[in-house]
Structure 1
């Protein structure tokens, strides 16, 4: 079977235009606003500063951090040939996919003013790319991308391989929605989509997945990954104003914390409630749409049956987040073990239900029984149950039991990186029992230094170092915070003193800040007997840093060297491939430890060294071979940059390695720069 180019255009545009007329949310007069009228532009976890910092750059001396200015989902789709967007249940993923399809089919290239933060920053959002044909595909088990394409448009692949497509100016945007439907097969589906893109000209990819289901998903190249953000208050105010709805600033309707979730916001508007917690929203919404208690109970039961799969009615309560909240209310009257058993069948689907159920359980004994059910057994199921249970309101005794599971998740590298990140935050807030000031012993001797993989790192040559000790981890917020409190030194980190970020690397600090910390710690450790009078704490020289990262690994020509070897490994570092786009608790990637046991030497944060670079950002004045030519001068001027090593969370595998060299002025700082200490003879 075949389809013509004109036939393809007609089919896809007809489907996409129909999306614009779908009901989206209720108006204040009781009617429904359609997708075209009610869509609120969604933002992602990527800022203007992040884009600038993909390459290291200068910041003014101790300048006030700029408020974040976020990019929109549409802009990320416009700027990336292959994109994975994740978001929590109810975050608007499907709404965005359908709105984008509608907008492209309508050839709507108008620039629209979009709120970028809650401080009044607004910028225009524009697609400014013509001739895109959106192919919206809802992912389902047992289907490849090619079979989904064939089912949607018979003969599509034959057309893409034809001269007619090669000679056209159209671009096909394949949208893969509800990627969570295929579970662990999602990564294979993305790889299949990448192969389709490689096979045919002018094919772009957009995939969308539920956040909990995508925790362990590492998208293959060329996919970039970003997360949808909750709605800002400014976005909600704009959205209500566009619908001629209530004045949210005057009434407070929909401006509660929980109403930042788009699905919650739609319910809060309909029920005219503020929406501080999800349960408040859904109870008010139920009373609004169902009326009497009996009807409300019946609707909650239907939602539970839809969620368990015993009722197959796609048009009944189509929004998953609504079903989850109603199912939680239904489960209040059942034994907690029922909810725990449901969670084990599909953790991503049922985790939001468990959270809402726990919020409804008024008695501590009910929560304790629920926790017992979640952590019963062993293996990954019990660890996931413990991780979820750790989010609930629990007593001290339960917290102690769960802390052991959280620590195991981190130290064993169990579960997915995103789940370990969550465990790290919880354990940081409760009190991380690890010795985060531990040191690794690095023997002295000669080793291969440098690499031919980048001109600034070449040539590889032999360098000798004396023995030294180096931090197993980068210096953390908790340790740097002690220094700040003791010395009253300025520190402009937005989350440095947050309890759940205590075990993440300290960032937003200059080279001079790091040097001052080392001097303070030298005095402190001498007083505590941890250092002799002949030893000091300082930053590593560039050869010391590389020695600790690569050990005795020889140069391998054009092979990039990592702390674990010369072959890139997934789940070994907090690099751009991990998709966090921020720092995480230290030590979450044990697969990536260096030969001397050091964590996080690839990715996570760029680490300050003592060594000078020069004044030109692109080309070092102090080139290799490394030698005694003044490059370890302590008192160089403010324009002379210092070396940074290791890459950070936004660095790809070419930079998050043992040999790539970065640099920054000694008074510059950024959320991707940190440091680790060395202990050596004075």
Structure 2
């Protein structure tokens, strides 16, 4: 469409006040998809009246590095109450009596359609497919031909053509379901069960991102039959990206006592540190690493030397005027405080913590949130005692929250704006993709720390912008929009730790739901010290005195 001038002609002839261009099945663009999207955005960027709606299948495009101008939204699964109501209408029974399509797998629309056809609860996709085949193709020969055809369409033909003599096309009673690519992949996986393990491994290594859902379904079937060991060991064999993706795939199929546990952990860490895979794969790697045990020192500190730097900017009214100030040296957390460490504090002190995922194994290396300023201060006091006892800090050092200038120095270093409206980010004065967890990324949730090494600050700190807002000791004032303690910086009581509870405290850095204009080094936020939510966290400072 782009290469044959269809889209350029459409854009050039647009005369309506507003034009919505819908591009469907964008996954068919294959590996060139993200590049083509960039070209399309360049084409329409000067036309404010043109909006693009891009539709594609998540499992096929999740590895694309999307341009920052593209906001991603995933379709929500069907709620059980929605499915009960639909079946109630179709079957003429009360919603409370419905047993069809209420299982976990049936939350996916394609699988819900299978559940309706098979009159099945839909707890597991593979089990659901088996029941569907009994309905539409009860003869084994017919079902074998259906799975073989799916394998032919989805697999690498040059690889398996010599192994499988495919039959001529067949007719089934209700073929519409089998047009869906999600069901085609389930069928292809079922066909792979009858083929040598080497075939599955070769398919995966030829195109791991495309073949991942097929191999996942195959592993479900083999694991149920107790025959997955050879495939699991084959997928993690080797090195490089394929081995990383193989480890990511099999991570859901190993037990706590698996001999591959250490090897998989190493591959997850490599995925995060090398950052060669798209963010969705890195996000999952972080969760797997958390569950298996994250070996990184998530309490590590970066040294910020004493010196002068520019605080503030000329862009945001509450950050003006910029001025040069001096700071003593200090150390600051390379990462925000994570669930693993904050939960230890909670267990030892009995402090109340209303976190929905603070003790979830897959979230132990994610920033601790749902905590207020007083909780963060109490953690710092507890950690001071703990680290003094084990010798990690000297008796004259203490752990505390950063002041606002300390936070900004740690984030921007010695970077200055040219004065042309440039924002300052930890990585420079120009926006770069794949540097932070922010609104336009579309994750809409915290993730494991350290997934964006391109966004590190000059002192090596991760997640300084995006991810979570971070508490500072500094006072803001009582009004949300206008601070009482304005710039230029002054020794005017804004660091009074015993200020009344109605005085808001400063938050910095933005969070996963903050837009690009807020995830920078100079934007200032605030909240009442007793306030908390899932987007607020903190990092620590170690200083003398």
TM-score for both structures, normalised by structure 2? 0.91
Following TM superposition, by how much is the alpha carbon of 1:147 offset from its aligned partner in structure 2, in angstroms? 4.1
1:604–1:672 CA contact under 8 A, matched in 2: yes
Say whether residues 1:636 and 2:495 are aligned partners. Answer: no
Out of 184, 205, 223, the residue aligned to residue 323 of structure 1 is 184
| Residue in structure 2 matched with residue 483 of structure 1 by the alignment | 345
1:646–1:656 CA contact under 8 A, matched in 2: yes
Q: 1:456 and 1:316, CA in 2 relative to 1: closer, same or farther beyond 3 A?
A: closer
Say whether residues 1:189 and 2:52 are aligned partners. Answer: no
1:145–1:192 CA contact under 8 A, matched in 2: no
Q: 1:513 and 1:677, CA in 2 relative to 1: closer, same or farther beyond 3 A?
A: same
Q: 1:539 and 1:145, CA in 2 relative to 1: closer, same or farther beyond 3 A?
A: farther
| Residue in structure 1 matched with residue 83 of structure 2 by the alignment | 236
Say whether residues 1:356 and 2:203 are aligned partners. Answer: no
- 2:73 is paired with a residue whose SS is strand
Following TM superposition, by how much is the alpha carbon of 1:448 offset from its aligned partner in structure 2, in angstroms? 1.3
| Residue in structure 1 matched with residue 315 of structure 2 by the alignment | 453
Following TM superposition, by how much is the alpha carbon of 1:399 offset from its aligned partner in structure 2, in angstroms? 1.8
CA distance, structure 1, for counterparts of residue 476 and residue 98 of structure 2? 57
| Residue in structure 2 matched with residue 258 of structure 1 by the alignment | 105
Say whether residues 1:372 and 2:219 are aligned partners. Answer: no
Q: Which 10-residue stretch deviates more, 441-450 or 547-556?
A: 547-556
| 1:461-476 alignment, distance < 5 Å | 461-476=323-338
| CA deviation map 1:149-182 (0-9, x unaligned) | 59xxxx755642xxxx34xx6x443221221111
2:417–2:429 CA contact under 8 A, matched in 1: no
| Residue in structure 2 matched with residue 577 of structure 1 by the alignment | 440
| Residue in structure 2 matched with residue 589 of structure 1 by the alignment | 452
CA distance, structure 2, for counterparts of residue 425 and residue 148 of structure 1? 43
| CA deviation map 1:606-632 (0-9, x unaligned) | 100000111111111111111100100
| Residue in structure 1 matched with residue 58 of structure 2 by the alignment | 211
| Residue in structure 2 matched with residue 308 of structure 1 by the alignment | 155
CA distance, structure 1, for counterparts of residue 524 and residue 427 of structure 2? 18
Q: 1:158 and 1:449, CA in 2 relative to 1: closer, same or farther beyond 3 A?
A: closer
- 1:225 is paired with a residue whose SS is coil
| Higher strand proportion | 1
Q: 1:318 and 1:525, CA in 2 relative to 1: closer, same or farther beyond 3 A?
A: same
1:508–1:670 CA contact under 8 A, matched in 2: yes
Name structure 1 gaps, 5 residues minimum. Answer: 1-142
1:563–1:593 CA contact under 8 A, matched in 2: yes
Following TM superposition, by how much is the alpha carbon of 1:244 offset from its aligned partner in structure 2, in angstroms? 4.2
CA distance, structure 2, for counterparts of residue 298 and residue 248 of structure 1? 37
1:440–1:470 CA contact under 8 A, matched in 2: yes
| Residue in structure 2 matched with residue 556 of structure 1 by the alignment | 418
Say whether residues 1:495 and 2:357 are aligned partners. Answer: yes
Following TM superposition, by how much is the alpha carbon of 1:588 offset from its aligned partner in structure 2, in angstroms? 0.8
Out of 203, 207, 218, the residue aligned to residue 346 of structure 1 is 207
Out of 18, 26, 46, the residue aligned to residue 179 of structure 1 is 26
Q: 1:594 and 1:195, CA in 2 relative to 1: closer, same or farther beyond 3 A?
A: closer
| CA deviation map 1:577-635 (0-9, x unaligned) | 32211111001111111111111101111100000111111111111111100100112
CA distance, structure 2, for counterparts of residue 327 and residue 365 of structure 1? 20
Q: 1:334 and 1:246, CA in 2 relative to 1: closer, same or farther beyond 3 A?
A: farther
Following TM superposition, by how much is the alpha carbon of 1:391 offset from its aligned partner in structure 2, in angstroms? 2.5
2:314–2:320 CA contact under 8 A, matched in 1: yes
Following TM superposition, by how much is the alpha carbon of 1:468 offset from its aligned partner in structure 2, in angstroms? 1.0
Q: Which 10-residue stretch deviates more, 374-383 or 416-425?
A: 374-383
| Residue in structure 1 matched with residue 160 of structure 2 by the alignment | none
- 1:519 is paired with a residue whose SS is helix
- 2:259 is paired with a residue whose SS is helix
2:413–2:459 CA contact under 8 A, matched in 1: yes
Following TM superposition, by how much is the alpha carbon of 1:333 offset from its aligned partner in structure 2, in angstroms? 1.3
Say whether residues 1:547 and 2:405 are aligned partners. Answer: no
Say whether residues 1:511 and 2:373 are aligned partners. Answer: yes
Aligned positions, number = 529
Following TM superposition, by how much is the alpha carbon of 1:533 offset from its aligned partner in structure 2, in angstroms? 2.4
Q: 1:326 and 1:364, CA in 2 relative to 1: closer, same or farther beyond 3 A?
A: closer
| Residue in structure 2 matched with residue 294 of structure 1 by the alignment | 141
Q: 1:559 and 1:144, CA in 2 relative to 1: closer, same or farther beyond 3 A?
A: same
CA distance, structure 1, for counterparts of residue 31 and residue 456 of structure 2? 27
1:539–1:608 CA contact under 8 A, matched in 2: yes
CA distance, structure 2, for counterparts of residue 509 and residue 222 of structure 1? 32
| Residue in structure 2 matched with residue 282 of structure 1 by the alignment | 129
- 2:232 is paired with a residue whose SS is helix
Q: 1:198 and 1:405, CA in 2 relative to 1: closer, same or farther beyond 3 A?
A: closer
Following TM superposition, by how much is the alpha carbon of 1:201 offset from its aligned partner in structure 2, in angstroms? 6.7
Say whether residues 1:422 and 2:269 are aligned partners. Answer: no
Following TM superposition, by how much is the alpha carbon of 1:458 offset from its aligned partner in structure 2, in angstroms? 1.3
Following TM superposition, by how much is the alpha carbon of 1:672 offset from its aligned partner in structure 2, in angstroms? 0.9
| 1:103-142 alignment, distance < 5 Å | none
Say whether residues 1:144 and 2:23 are aligned partners. Answer: no
| Residue in structure 2 matched with residue 10 of structure 1 by the alignment | none
Name structure 2 gaps, 5 residues minimum. Answer: 158-165, 170-174
Following TM superposition, by how much is the alpha carbon of 1:415 offset from its aligned partner in structure 2, in angstroms? 0.9
Q: Indicate the RMSD between aligned Cα atoms, in angstroms.
A: 2.4
CA distance, structure 1, for counterparts of residue 323 and residue 191 of structure 2? 68
Following TM superposition, by how much is the alpha carbon of 1:267 offset from its aligned partner in structure 2, in angstroms? 0.6
Following TM superposition, by how much is the alpha carbon of 1:305 offset from its aligned partner in structure 2, in angstroms? 1.3
Out of 369, 376, 392, the residue aligned to residue 253 of structure 2 is 392
Out of 322, 336, 356, the residue aligned to residue 197 of structure 2 is 336
CA distance, structure 2, for counterparts of residue 515 and residue 216 of structure 1? 40
- 2:308 is paired with a residue whose SS is strand
